[in-house]
Amino acid sequence: MNERTDTPEYRYDSAFANTIEEKWQDRWEQDGTYFAPNPSGKLADQTGRIEAPKLFIMDMFPYPSGSGLHVGHPLGFIGTDVFARYKRMTGYNVLHTMGYDAFGLPAEEHARQTGQHPRDNTNANISNMRNQLRRLGLGHDSRRSVSTTDLEFYKWTQWIFLQLFNSWYDPTVDKARPISDLESLLSNGDIKLDDESNWDSLTPAQQRETINSYRLAYLAEAPVNWCPALGTVLANEEVTAEGRSERGNHPVFRRPLKQWMMRITAYADRLLQDLEILDWSEAIKTMQRNWIGKSEGAEITFKTEETEFKVFTTRPDTLFGATYMVLAPEHPLLGEIVADVWPDQTPERWKNGMPTPLEAVQNYQKISSQKSDLDRQENKTKTGVFVGEFATVPVNGKKIPIFISDYVLMGYGTGAIMAVPGQDERDWEFAQEYDLEIIRTVQPPEGWDGDAFTGDGPAINSQFLDGLNITDAKERMIEWLEETENGTRNTTYKLRDWLFSRQRYWGEPFPIVYDDEDLPVAVPENYLPVELPDLMDWAPRSLDETSDPEPPLGRASDWVYAELDIGDGMKTYKRELNTMPQWAGSCWYYLRYLDPTNDEQFVSKDVEDYWMNGETGGVDLYVGGVEHAVLHLLYSRFWHKALFDLGHVSTPEPFHRLYNQGYIQAATYQDSRGIFVEASEVVEENGDFTYQNEVVTRSFGKMGKSLKNSVTPDEMYDQFGADTLRLYEMFMGPLDQDRPWETKSVVGSLRLLQRVWRNLVNEETGALQIVDKETPLELKRILHQTIHSVREDMENLRFNTAIARITELNNEITKSNTETPREVADVLIHLIAPLVPHVAEELWEMLGNDSSIVYSPFPVPDPTYLVSETVEIPIQINGKLKSKITVPSDLSSSDLRNAALADEKIASIISDTEIKKEIIVDGKLVNFVI
RNA sequence: GCCCGGGUGGCGGAAUUGGCAGACGCGGGGGAUUCAAAAUCCCCUUCUCUUCGGGGAGUGCGGGUUCAAGUCCCGCCCCGGGCACCA
């Protein structure tokens, strides 16, 4: 934008916007404008605002990226800021701040690329991001901004870990309890040991190991996701369906390792149930439900010659249709089950060309272990091999063959199934492959020509179940199983316990040491925090599939051993060398926002109660991207529930209302070779796009470096100013929707601010153009209708339509073409204040106010101006609009009818035609059917 | 395959309980102002036909309910996202 010599001196342009924006940002900082008072403690009230109802508004914890922000990042931050500002003006004590999720893989990977130490790199990134966000004019309480990497923060992350380590889940009361309760229950025999042995007969080490196996945070040797390229193991949630790491897309291998686990499965049912009380979108709830994956059914015991095993099924009603069994290739009982020789008349197809069942099984195990998850999915043809043994169907004594196949997963249920091809598509396919018997136990509807029938219908071929529908048949069969002790009602979950250790440097150290017995011991609270040692060589080694993970902390040789007094004098202990995963800090950061300066507790009781235990229970509004639908939101709910059980927080759920903002997308251009070209240099001509005179093709994608379509906030400040950027982002569309960025459209938002400015300020002189006179009635009506709509839109986060209403009001003021009545100016400035706080503050100050508009009450509509005296009524003939009449709004139906008939156009259409039917909706419309 | 979203002008998007489709903005066209331009202000801008009065069609497609359907019902198509051999 070139400087025009004759541009009015006091025009609202980008240079002027930048000046007042920086002025107000400094002012707000000096005045602590956005400090939200606590009921007690260091952040206690000095303003009186603590008397107002509270509101806790949050953005999802960002990680401080090294590459800086683009205009897509702050969309949600602006949304929450506008809402928070609106709520402050309507009388709430609003807590809104922002912290940094600075530990973990992203930060470490970035440090690794730049070669800088993660701490230096992280601190630089945080300060950079703080500056960028400050420039947007976000009204955050800066005293409450925390980073997970702060010592004072991760001290409490470790403290919470100890709470989890020191508790167990008591299924009889369905909540977590202190581990000391468990010790008493075990020693007095109220809780029996699995092997019926006596507690007192166990050695102290055995007793400790037993107790350890109950803890919410526990060590377990379990098959884990080992990612050599990242040098660490990963949680299930961090591995894609293709068996690769979600971050970096590196191959991941399953292998058993001893790792810290979190007993989230104990909470599976509560995590599922409590979704009901949350104000979250159905989409997110569904994703969580699917992830938890609750299935109700029965566990049924099948006997073989030598042994017995259990299967899980959701369809116990189909037991009469079980014609074969399948075990997962890794099933631990295979050793006992596999026969020495093939039974007589074993079909060749079942042997897979092997001379003995053992060789066949071993061969199959080998092949399937080499298959990646991807291979398993792509190769849909069912494979398997007969193990040479038969099982007995408990309900009818039938002997059915046992197979192994990789379509049965060891990780779900019991790793074994009863196959009912008549009612299960997968079993049907396998039965076709191996020529196995198929018995239908549910009558398919007439004309059914499909394979397995999974729908409802009357039971057949099932003796005492015949005629019952699925639900009743299931119940009847479960009764039978329990009566005859052949099985029990059972429920399984897809949710697995949460793998909690990482072999990385940049994370919270565990507050755990190992003693002489190599058993874990909690580091006493007075030794917290366990500080992350400063390591020069912090990068993970690149490793291969078979090597063991090497935690980098093992290289801090003088840190590895610790002198501690854990109750029986100073001794040397070996430290836990793993670190916590990134999710640890984000599981509870919102609680630290509440009381960030407290060095006695992670959050004080009354502060927590004040902010969390309001009308809704939990954070009042939580805005973030949908990508955290399962990971963060599930982990965080789990920690919160454990803290709730232990009495540390007052609500069962952390986030009452969740709102998923959309993403800003941007056009991206590829040349003929498919290479992305710099989007800002592409020119459009007659619908064609060219880059350096070469035609390129356009598509839309996430904004970012790789697609060469980033637009930075800084460019927008230069061209338009922060208020315009805020306004444009809020105007583009509904907050929850993806929308394409268009720099050329931003000017519309700048124009609105210029028009607002021009309606109140003389551009040539800079003087106010406001008069103390009565507002004309018609403008007054529009004013109050606008207040009404804007309030409604703000409450519902519909900022785009709020801006449209404000624009209409402003257009009305422009049209009146006279000096603006002070009343109108006052209202207008308040309406825009949440959206464009800088220019609103500036105008408010120019109007002679010496306190900030941030806490000035938002206008309230006067109901007398919301109803107008006349109303325009559309008149339809046969449902088609033919005319409109303006009538008094309280006109009676019959008068309205007559008025409609008297309308010239209507009269000419109807004249001598018969009216078959008339619909008169008072105040709304008239429709004649002829 | 299953489960969620969504499909409205050239573009982003508006439209309580079914009641004037296209608010508001971008882009485009015209005018005023100006020596001229920029900026600003005003008007027009769904498509289509038109004798300039107006007529017809129109919210992904095909049916239906209704005086009246973007909105409700049935059957499809397309796009985005999630899950995916979970017994």
Q: What is the CATH number of the domain that holds A749?
A: 1.10.730.10
Scan residues 87-126 of chain A and list those with Cβ within 7 Å of strand B: none
Q: For A301-305, what is the mean pLDDT?
A: 94
Nucleotide showing the shortest C1' distance to residue A429 CA: B85
Q: For A403-429, what is the mean pLDDT?
A: 92
Determine, yes or no, domain membership for A565.
no
- Tell me, what's the pLDDT at A3? 42
- A878 CA to B63 C1' distance (Å): 21
A17 or A368, which is more confident = A17
* C-alpha distances in Å from residue A536, one per residue of A553, A554, A563, A762: 11, 12, 23, 62
- Tell me, what's the pLDDT at A1? 37
- Tell me, what's the pLDDT at A796? 93
A238 pLDDT above the threshold of 50: yes
- A766 CA to B14 C1' distance (Å): 36
Q: For A121-129, what is the mean pLDDT?
A: 93
- Tell me, what's the pLDDT at A100? 96
Same domain, A302 and A437: yes
pLDDT tens by residue, A725-763: 999 999 999 999 988 999 999 999 999 999 999 999 998
Determine whether the distance from the CB of A384 to the nearest atom of strand B is below 7 Å: no
Structural tokens at position A366:
């080998």
Contacts of residue A381, defined as CB under 8 A and 6 or more positions apart, other chains included, come to: A429, A433
- Tell me, what's the pLDDT at A110? 79
- A737 CA to B6 C1' distance (Å): 10
Of A96, A164, A37, A153, give the one whose Cα is nearest residue A599. A153
pLDDT tens by residue, A245-256: 777 778 888 777
Structural tokens at position A146:
């925390």
Determine, yes or no, domain membership for A840.
yes
Q: Compute how many other C-beta atoms are within 10 angstroms of the C-beta atom of residue A229.
A: 16
Q: Compute how many other C-beta atoms are within 10 angstroms of the C-beta atom of residue A409.
A: 13
A623 pLDDT above the threshold of 50: yes
Cα A854 versus chain centre, distance: 31
Nucleotide showing the shortest C1' distance to residue A817 CA: B41
Nucleotide showing the shortest C1' distance to residue A925 CA: B19
Scan residues 169-208 of chain A and list those with Cβ within 7 Å of strand B: none
Of A283, A228, A275, give the one whose Cα is nearest residue A254. A228
A448 pLDDT above the threshold of 80: no
Alpha carbon distance A695, A166 (integer Å)? 65
A615 pLDDT above the threshold of 50: yes
| CATH code where residue A912 lies | 3.10.20.590
Same domain, A328 and A346: yes
pLDDT band at A819 (very low <50, low <70, confident <90, very high): confident
pLDDT band at A90 (very low <50, low <70, confident <90, very high): very high
Q: For A578-583, what is the mean pLDDT?
A: 92
| CATH code where residue A431 lies | 3.90.740.10
Determine, yes or no, domain membership for A643.
yes
Scan residues 739-768 of chain A and list those with Cβ within 7 Å of strand B: 739-740, 742, 744-745, 747-749, 751-752, 754-755, 758
A225 pLDDT above the threshold of 90: no
Is the distance from CB of A928 to CB of A876 less than 8 angstroms?
A: yes
Scan residues 848-907 of chain A and list those with Cβ within 7 Å of strand B: 872, 874, 876, 878-882, 884
Alpha carbon distance A786, A865 (integer Å)? 11
> β-pairing, A175-178 with A232-234?
unpaired
Residue-wise DSSP of A231-276? TEEE-GGGB-TTSBBTTT--B-EEEEEEEEEE-GGGGHHHHHHGGG
Same domain, A635 and A741: no
Secondary structure letter of residue A640 according to DSSP:
H
Nucleotide showing the shortest C1' distance to residue A732 CA: B12
Same domain, A644 and A740: no
The amino acid occupying position A837 is P
Nucleotide showing the shortest C1' distance to residue A316 CA: B87
Of A885, A829, A835, give the one whose Cα is nearest residue A857. A829
Total domains present in chain A:
5
Determine whether the distance from the CB of A424 to the nearest atom of strand B is below 7 Å: yes
Is the distance from CB of A85 to CB of A143 less than 8 angstroms?
A: no
- Highest averaged pLDDT of the listed ranges A80-89, A116-125, A607-616: A80-89
Residue at the smallest CA–C1' distance to nucleotide B82: A287
Determine, yes or no, domain membership for A391.
yes
Determine, yes or no, domain membership for A394.
yes
Same domain, A650 and A780: no
Q: For A850-863, what is the mean pLDDT?
A: 96
Same domain, A732 and A624: no
Burial of residue A39 (CB within 10 Å: 0-12, 13-18, 19+) is middle
Determine whether the distance from the CB of A916 to the nearest atom of strand B is below 7 Å: no
Contacts of residue A497, defined as CB under 8 A and 6 or more positions apart, other chains included, come to: A220, A222, A261, A262, A263, A264, A265
A5 pLDDT above the threshold of 60: no
Determine whether the distance from the CB of A313 to the nearest atom of strand B is below 7 Å: yes
Dihedral sign for Cα atoms in the order A814, A816, A819, A820: negative
The amino acid occupying position A685 is E
Burial of residue A51 (CB within 10 Å: 0-12, 13-18, 19+) is exposed
- What percent of chain A is modeled with pLDDT above 90? 66
Determine, yes or no, domain membership for A554.
no
Determine whether the distance from the CB of A628 to the nearest atom of strand B is below 7 Å: no
Alpha carbon distance A364, A16 (integer Å)? 74
Alpha carbon distance A480, A478 (integer Å)? 5
- Tell me, what's the pLDDT at A372? 59
> β-pairing, A416-419 with A498-499?
unpaired
> 3-state DSSP helix/strand/coil percent for chain A, to nearest 5?
40, 20, 40
- A538 CA to B43 C1' distance (Å): 69
Of A645, A660, A675, which residue sits at a domain end?
A660
Is the distance from CB of A590 to CB of A654 less than 8 angstroms?
A: yes
> β-pairing, A770-771 with A739-741?
unpaired
A565 pLDDT above the threshold of 60: yes
A106 or A824, which is more confident = A824
Scan residues 577-616 of chain A and list those with Cβ within 7 Å of strand B: none
Nucleotide showing the shortest C1' distance to residue A426 CA: B85
Scan residues 320-379 of chain A and list those with Cβ within 7 Å of strand B: 328, 373, 376-377, 379
> β-pairing, A739-741 with A664-670?
parallel
Phi-psi region of A858 (alpha: psi -120 to 50; beta: other; left: phi over 0): beta
Same domain, A791 and A845: yes
- A732 CA to B80 C1' distance (Å): 19
Contacts of residue A728, defined as CB under 8 A and 6 or more positions apart, other chains included, come to: A720, A745, A746, A748, A749
pLDDT tens by residue, A524-558: 999 999 999 988 788 777 677 777 788 889 888 88
Could you give phi then psi for residue A618, rounded to 5 degrees?
115, 180
Of A866, A894, A921, which residue sits at a domain end?
A866
A395 pLDDT above the threshold of 60: yes
Secondary structure letter of residue A172 according to DSSP:
T
Q: Compute how many other C-beta atoms are within 10 angstroms of the C-beta atom of residue A576.
A: 22
Same domain, A391 and A352: yes
Q: For A122-138, what is the mean pLDDT?
A: 94
Scan residues 204-263 of chain A and list those with Cβ within 7 Å of strand B: 241
Same domain, A347 and A486: yes
- A686 CA to B66 C1' distance (Å): 46
A790 pLDDT above the threshold of 90: yes
Nucleotide showing the shortest C1' distance to residue A873 CA: B20
A374 pLDDT above the threshold of 60: no
- Tell me, what's the pLDDT at A377? 59
- Tell me, what's the pLDDT at A686? 62
- A913 CA to B53 C1' distance (Å): 22
Could you give phi then psi for residue A522, rounded to 5 degrees?
-70, 135
| CATH code where residue A112 lies | 3.40.50.620
State yes or no: ipTM above 0.90: yes
Nucleotide showing the shortest C1' distance to residue A237 CA: B83
Cis before A64 (ω within 30)? no
Residue A880, domain extent? 869-929
Residue-wise DSSP of A495-526? --PEE--BS-SSSPBPSEEE-TT--EEEPPGG
Q: For A843-853, what is the mean pLDDT?
A: 96
- Tell me, what's the pLDDT at A376? 61
**Angle, CA of A417, A422 and A428, to the nearest 5°:** 70
Determine, yes or no, domain membership for A229.
no
Nucleotide showing the shortest C1' distance to residue A241 CA: B84
Residue at the smallest CA–C1' distance to nucleotide B39: A7
Q: For A225-241, what is the mean pLDDT?
A: 79
Same domain, A626 and A775: no
> β-pairing, A561-565 with A820-821?
unpaired
A332 pLDDT above the threshold of 50: yes
Of A476, A492, A508, which residue sits at a domain end?
A492
pLDDT band at A341 (very low <50, low <70, confident <90, very high): very high
Structural tokens at position A810:
């402003």
- A687 CA to B12 C1' distance (Å): 17
- A291 CA to B4 C1' distance (Å): 14
Same domain, A44 and A81: yes
Average pLDDT across chain A, whole number: 90
Nucleotides on strand B lying under 7 Å from protein C-beta: 3-5, 11-15, 17, 19-21, 23-27, 37-43, 55-56, 67-69, 80-87
- Tell me, what's the pLDDT at A4? 43
- A289 CA to B4 C1' distance (Å): 12
Determine, yes or no, domain membership for A257.
no
As beta bridge partners, residue A401 has: A390
Same domain, A20 and A38: no
